[in-house]
């Protein structure tokens, strides 16, 4: 018997014991997260989409696509009911010099297609220039927008 079979069996037993220890009301949420159903918030502030990966914090990805999306403006991918997404949009509004486009991937259509073509795993995701920020982190956002030449914080004074 290959060595992977006992490891798989041990993993399944662990998952089943974890599910059994969850209270009945929370058990459905456990299975939904395990099976990738419904957007969920992960530790570190990244919302998981079906088929997405659990992320533990915001991080920057270099773009490898040739899409014009977000090259001369800022695009923020959001999901419905995502408070972190709203915060990411406000972070961009606080200082982006170029226009901002907000695309709701939960609505499907072009937003979901663009999200998939860019290879993004989760929302919120901010695309600017040659980089993408997955998650919400104002300091990393400033860096991404600055490198793209799109950052100029708006002043509150005269």
Helix (H) or strand (E) holding 99: none
CATH match of 59-147 with 2.30.110.10: no
Sheet holding 59-62: strands in order across?
A: 59-62, 131-134, 125-128, 74-78, 100-104
Q: Exposed, middle or buried, 96 (CB in 10 Å: 0-12/13-18/19+)? A: buried
> Residue 43: pLDDT above 70?
no
Q: Pull the structure tokens for residue 140.
A: 């990393």
Which of 43-52, 76-85, 119-128, 134-143 is predicted least confidently? 43-52
- pTM higher than 0.85: no
Q: In the predicted model, what is the mean pLDDT of the chain?
A: 74
């Amino acid at each position: 018997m290959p060595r992977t079979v006992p490891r798989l069996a041990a993993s399944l037993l662990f998952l089943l014991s974890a599910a059994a220890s969850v209270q009945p009301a929370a058990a459905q949420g456990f299975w939904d997260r395990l099976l990738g159903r419904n957007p969920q918030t992960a530790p570190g502030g990244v919302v998981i989409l079906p088929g997405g990966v659990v992320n533990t914090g915001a991080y920057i990805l270099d773009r490898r696509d040739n899409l014009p999306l977000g090259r001369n403006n800022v695009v923020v991918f959001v999901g419905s009911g995502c408070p972190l997404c709203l915060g990411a949009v406000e972070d961009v509004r606080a200082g982006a010099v170029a226009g901002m486009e907000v695309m709701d991937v939960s609505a499907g259509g072009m937003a979901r297609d663009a999200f998939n073509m860019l290879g993004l795993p989760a929302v919120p995701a901010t695309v600017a220039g040659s980089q993408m920020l997955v998650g919400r982190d104002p300091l990393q956002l400033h860096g991404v927008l600055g490198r793209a030449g799109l950052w100029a914080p708006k002043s509150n004074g005269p």
